[in-house]
Amino acid sequence: MLDIKQIRENPQTVQQQLNRRGDYELQPILELDEKQRQLETERSQLQARSNQIGKQVGEKIKSGSDPKGPEIKALKEEGNQIKAQLSELEPEERKLKAQIEALLLNIPNLPSESTPVGKSEAENVEVKRWGDEYIPQNPKIIPHYEIGEKLGILNFERGVKIAQSRFVALMGMGAALERALIQFMLNRHIEAGYVEVMAPLLVNSQSLTATGQLPKFAEDSFKCEADDLWLIPTSEVSTMNLYRDEILSAEELPIYHCAYTPCFRREAGAYGKDTRGLIRLHQFNKVEMVKIVHPDRSEEEHQKLVADAEAILQALKLPYRILELCTGDLGFAAAKCYDLEVWLPSSGTYREISSCSNVRDFQGRRANIRFKEGKKKGTQYVHALNGSGLAVGRTMAAILENYQQVDGSVKVPEVLQSYMGCEFI
């Protein structure tokens, strides 16, 4: 959530920054804010006069005035009139505040000053490419879903029977490979200083609002209507909300967490895309990295976050590239974002496998997570970062293609062989 004070004091600057992202209008917020502040001033003045009247009545009675005399009666009548006015103003002010908050919740984060300007993903900027020497030269590589079905480790038909389309059942060595990837990723992140978290997969509306999924992306999430609980689209939600409405000490920062969870997404905006395979499922496994840091460190921590995601791909020897997202392709909460895309040889293209975002104080403000620094007065909102480390199903897809052998088997990446207990599937 953006700071209403920043919008109020620098409306043109904030509007210009939002214009880099798309069509977002601040004027309705500014108009409501002006009305709310006028009401607040009026209410404060009336409250001050009410307090003054109460004090005057007490002083006059104490000095000998008749409690039922005309002077006291006139003061009390004025006080009653003020109370009646306040009883009308207070709910009106609360209504205006709620309207302002509702509008603010639908405004995205401001892009970083260094984020490239662009209207769509076509204007994202490639900043790095790694592992060209590992791109397989086998000309007969078939898509991961085909080799997976031939090997009997992916069963989409039974996944559909159990649930619906965009679900899969992992069988035998498929389940083992998924489990090996999860454990390998967690182990690497823990070695890098992250503390593992296993938090609820069902979260309340307040939690999704805190990280930015609600209200804007309600249609992309699965809701349990009877309980006001939602299945998480990413463990970033559960992990960030561990600290909601808390004031941390500066000494507690930075906080590094990693978490493995299943994730659930309707993919409402992706109708017809990637209908086959592991790329775009309604349920998928992911290992997530989340950082809660001091504002002075967030840029540095962002680069380290990207490096931690890269380390997994490099250990698996999977070719990838890094894109810096332009303003028109940024996620709702992100101020700056890098996408890691892994090479899928069957389609001759790179596909997203990790999105590493610096959201600055956007989630800290929505979740009301602050920190106090030493003896300084007041508190500051934390900066938050998140990134996939990695999307497990997409990593499996990349392995099934990049490690595919001419004889139809799949070699297990060297770093996973001890987890799997074999060299080939």
Residues 341-395 pLDDT 10s: 999 999 999 999 999 999 999 999 999 999 999 889 999 999 999 999 999 999 9
Please tell me which residue in 355, 365, 366, 401 is annotated as part of the active site. Answer: 355
Instruction: Give the C-alpha separation, 122 to 318, whole Å.
Output: 24
The predicted structure's pLDDT at residue 267: 82
d(CA 195, CA 197): 7
Instruction: Give the number of other Cβ atoms within 10 Å of residue 199's Cβ.
Output: 17
Residues 284, 289, 290, CA angle at the centre, nearest 5°? 120
- Other beta carbons within 10 angstroms of residue 59's beta carbon come to 10
Q: And the tokens for 395?
A: 């990593």
The two three-digit tokens of residue 65, written as one number: 């005035």
**Choice among 266, 352, 373, 409 that is catalytic:** 352
The domain segmentation of the chain, as residue ranges, is: 4-104, 121-420
Cβ neighbours around 391 below 10 Å, total: 26
- Among positive and negative, which fits the CA dihedral 230, 236, 238, 243? negative
Q: Which residues pair with 287 in a beta bridge?
A: 260
Compute the distance between CA of residue 421 and CA of residue 412 in angstroms, rounded to an integer: 10
- pLDDT at position 173, please? 98
Residue 279, strand partner residues: none
Reported as a single tens digit per residue, the pLDDT across 118-173 is 999 999 999 999 999 999 999 899 999 999 999 999 999 999 999 999 999 999 99
- Annotated active-site residue 20? The verdict is no
Q: How many residues does this entry show for the chain?
A: 425
Single out the residue of 4, 54, 65, 56 nearest to residue 31, CA to CA. 4
- Catalytic residue status for 355: yes
From 207, 221, 394, 401, the catalytic residue: 394
Cβ pair 285, 259 in contact under 8 A: no
Q: Identify whether 394 is a catalytic site residue.
A: yes
Q: What string of H, E and C letters represents the secondary structure of 140-171?
A: CCCCHHHHHHHCCCEEHHHHHHHCCCCCCEEC
Catalytic, out of 280, 299, 321, 373: 280
Given this model, what pLDDT does residue 70 score? 86
User: What are the beta bridge partners of residue 203?
Assistant: 230
> What is the spatial distance between Cα 18 and Cα 14, in angstroms, rounded to a whole number?
6
Fold of 4-104: Helix Hairpins (1.10.287)
Of 343, 340, 320, give the one whose Cα is nearest residue 404: 343
Output the pTM of the full model.
0.93
**Segment-wise mean pLDDT, segments of 10 residues, the chain, 425 residues:** 96 97 95 96 93 89 85 89 93 96 97 96 98 94 98 97 97 98 98 98 98 95 95 98 98 98 85 83 98 98 98 98 98 98 97 98 98 93 98 98 97 98 98
- The single residue of 21, 166, 188, 265 carrying the catalytic annotation is 265
User: Could you read off the pLDDT of 61-74 as tens digits, one per residue?
Assistant: 888 888 888 888 89
What's the distance, CA 361 to chain centroid? Answer: 12
Helices (H), 10-124: 11-19, 27-62, 70-104
Please provide the CATH number assigned to the domain covering 121-420. Answer: 3.30.930.10
Please name the residues in contact with 200: beta carbons below 8 A apart, sequence gap of 6 or more.
Answer: 232, 238
Supply the pLDDT for residue 63. 87
- pLDDT on residue 271: 63
Both tokens assigned to 205: 């509306």
